[in-house]
Structure 1
């Protein structure tokens, strides 16, 4: 339980600092947008490259990857079906909602909770790889094709567009050293490490700045029904799906099953708000879902640990 408290305390403190910066207008009227773009185009690609370049592929490609990837895709698809077929949401907003309901905060919450609650940070690695190499490219390509093009894209656009996205490129580039065993010289690797260190706090600060002057879940402004659906899917359904996949398809038990469920219960990543800010679509949905799922995840993780631990 101490790991849960410690992990969430870090998040809330940095978000609070961002809120104060926004409240006092320290970074000016465009501070949140500039910071979000810095995180999207520079810091996050550097973090992904640095993380994957040193990854142990034998740990990453495990049953945990199947649980993490399968539960995220199934839950995201559930949101898309409801948002598109029943609520008739536009594709960009539906994609942001799908990410809000299934894209796990695997770095700034996942790592400390994996260390303090599960006793091993490697439990987060498969999920991190899945989100970087598979989930983000799919979602960002959909956003690129539906937001950044005023006319119908060419037939080859879905194949070309991912290679124009800095996050996708960084993830793929980071896999090359991991696969080949080649290491960058320290003088070249260190800049990626330093720049990547700004990704998590930068995203949290931008999120805090966005809370200034707004009321979360405000009637008439916030897409409250969308936020509610994303929250239920993220905090309730995704852990349940992870349990079913792990227990009945992969025959996991004990600590391995506990790890799969706890990781799936982690709240929406602040990356989702960064993506929404980049494309200026679904920002209130990403912001409100990020905050609500973060608050709801505290008792949910504690309950999951008590039931399965």
Structure 2
């Protein structure tokens, strides 16, 4: 276990600095919002684009990526089923609760973890691409339909993921990758420089975001449900990834990438969607907080178990 801790020390340290900056008042909530906007709009899309543009198709389209898709779909369906049978969630609430248990934070936390633990971002970029281009539109469609809103604003909601800068960066990078075009250094170098800011700034923002409590909001606190979804996100989804990866013959570093990325905490985007629909937003917010906090330990355990 001690051999993998050095990989996570920079992650914890940068997040701790961000937490302290917020806790001591050096930076306020508005500063956090500005830094988040920088990472989300400029740095992370630049990193995604430059990584895809300089990758090989074989690195992006691999069995482990298919394993992640299968793992995510199984976990999303299982989360929705549990929320329906156990917690009596219905309609859009059921879909969003399922997303809280199976939709990973591939951007803000996944990229730094991939850089630090896996040594490259090819796999996590493929995850971002699949989640934003495939899983997000499907889930939002289900929320629209199950909430009886399919006739109002469906097209804008379907377009919304593609207004996401990270989606745009992913699609642009994918076009360059598939076309085989070699971008000139004078074009690629500034984009790569901007992308290098994504990891430290993203971890700093993550630490600032952790400075908040659980249980405040406009809904009654449901700690039992939060525990259930947290267990599903941090333990069940990685376990499913191991099973799926074994069936597909994935092993070695590819299996580590599959299980590690499946064990990432709930994405903040799920809260954005729940807030937009005004459905279970406080519950999703608390789930994001708890899974993000606990994932620092579970991701280290996954690296220890499946790493070299």
TM-score interval, smaller chain: 0.7 to 0.9
Pair 1:45–1:225, CA change in 2 (3 A): farther
TM-score calculated relative to the size of structure 2: 0.77
Instruction: Find out whether 1:289 has 2:291 as its counterpart.
Output: yes
- Cα RMSD, aligned residues only: 3.6
Match of 2:264 in 1: 267
Point out the more displaced range, 159-168 or 90-99. 90-99
Match of 1:133 in 2: 129
Match of 1:37 in 2: 37
TM-score calculated relative to the size of structure 1: 0.76
Alpha-carbon displacement from aligned partner over 1:48-81 (angstroms, at most 9, x marks no partner): 1111111111122121111122112221232233
Match of 1:174 in 2: 173
CA distance in 1, matches of 2:76, 2:188: 34
CA distance in 1, matches of 2:265, 2:57: 25
Matches within 5 A, 1:1-309: 1=1, 4-83=4-83, 86-88=87-89, 91=92, 95=96, 98=99, 101-103=102-104, 105-115=109-119, 121=120, 125-129=122-126, 131-138=127-134, 140-141=136-137, 153-154=152-153, 156-157=155-156, 159-212=158-211, 214-215=212-213, 224-248=223-247, 250-252=248-250, 255=252, 258-259=255-256, 262-264=259-261, 266-268=263-265, 272-273=267-268, 276=271, 281=281, 282-304=284-306
Structure 1 unaligned blocks of 5 or more: 116-120
8 Å CA contact 1:223–1:284 kept in 2: the answer is no
Count of residue pairs brought into register by the alignment? 290
Point out the more displaced range, 94-103 or 2-11. 94-103
8 Å CA contact 1:18–1:204 kept in 2: the answer is yes
8 Å CA contact 1:101–1:231 kept in 2: the answer is no
| SS of residue in 1 equivalent to 2:89 | coil
Structure 2 unaligned blocks of 5 or more: 276-280
| SS of residue in 2 equivalent to 1:58 | helix
| SS of residue in 2 equivalent to 1:109 | helix
Pair 1:93–1:55, CA change in 2 (3 A): farther
8 Å CA contact 1:268–1:290 kept in 2: the answer is yes
CA distance in 2, matches of 1:31, 1:89: 37
Measured after TM superposition, the shift of residue 41 of structure 1 is 2.0
Pair 1:243–1:151, CA change in 2 (3 A): closer
CA distance in 2, matches of 1:227, 1:9: 27
